[in-house]
Chains A and B, each alone.
Chain A
Amino acid sequence: MEETAGLADPISIRPYKEYQARYQSWEPVGELKIESKADIARIRRELDTCFAAHLSCWSKVRLPVLLAVSEAVTNVVKYTPGGRLLVYADTAGLSFHVIDYGTGLDLDVLPSLLFGKGFSTSSSLGMGFPIMDKYADAVTAYTSGRGTILVLQFDIDC
């Protein structure tokens, strides 16, 4: 897994078509549907249960990981018709691909969403981004009119 190599720190915006080329050969260890707000808590629970059983240092990293993923999943529920979460794991860490079926991120307001601190932006869409920015080691958004894929990378060594 060489996801973060060469990417700007920490949030990078990439063309949607690059996603498939980059991740075509990757095999997810899990896939979870995102259809309603009940899925937000369900996904947190399932990830928590799974990684508690398989990662020895999970208790140290669980809150940042669950929070950042939860923020991304919440945005899917709030602002798009739905989506899914793909989970990848290898010796470099964990990678979460939050895929939505919306109309893509608005590039005109994206800078304030990504770099404004929480409530400094008038749009509630931006409130989760400072959290993802803080807790994930890399955040990459692949966006187009067909939707957005947000890739959250956590470098975990345990």
Chain B
Amino acid sequence: MLSVSIKKDVPDVGLSLSGNLDMVTSEVLNETFERLDEVQMRSLTISIGGLNFIDSTGVGQLLGYYKRCTARDIGFRIENDNPEIEAILEIIGIREIVNS
């Protein structure tokens, strides 16, 4: 199960995730992302410290949002204070790209 909450609205959007982000739940986050007003959005921050689990599919999804935001000149950050989740991000290599 994945829970997505909008903490801040445009122009500087903040999303907070809790639960599991994987192939099973990725569509839940995608539905929220697709509803965001990209024309009005100046930055997007996704907080993932509340996740219990993320796999490479979930990390790949975050990377896709990074690419999409960057292409539209929208700032993108991943906030995380969960060391277990951070270890996964580093193994996959997304930290070399996002918030580097």
Q: Which residues of A contact B (CB under 8 A)?
A: 37-38, 40-41, 44, 63, 66-67, 70-71, 74, 77-78, 117-120, 124, 127-128, 130-131, 134
Contacts and interface: CB of A to CB of B under 8 A. Distances in A.
Given A38-B24, A44-B53, A127-B60, A119 B93 contact: yes
Interface residues of B, number: 19
Given A63-B84, A119-B60, 16 more contacts: A41-B20, A41-B24, A41-B25, A66-B53, A67-B53, A70-B53, A71-B56, A118-B59, A119-B97, A124-B60, A130-B91, A131-B55, A131-B88, A131-B91, A131-B92, A134-B91
B25 to A, nearest CB: 8
Interface string B17-39: 00010111100000000000000
Contacts, number: 61
Given A117-B93, A119-B93, A77 B56 contact: no
A67 B92 contact: no
Main secondary structure of the interface of A (DSSP, over half): helix
Interface in B56-100: 56-57, 59-60, 63, 84, 88, 91-94, 97
Contact of B92 (A38, A77, A127): A127
Interface of B: 20, 22-25, 53, 55-57, 59-60, 63, 84, 88, 91-94, 97
Given A130-B91, A131-B88, A131-B92, A118 B24 contact: no
21 contacts: A38-B24, A41-B20, A41-B22, A41-B24, A70-B22, A71-B56, A74-B57, A77-B23, A117-B93, A118-B56, A118-B91, A119-B92, A119-B94, A120-B93, A127-B56, A127-B59, A127-B92, A128-B56, A131-B91, A131-B92, A134-B91
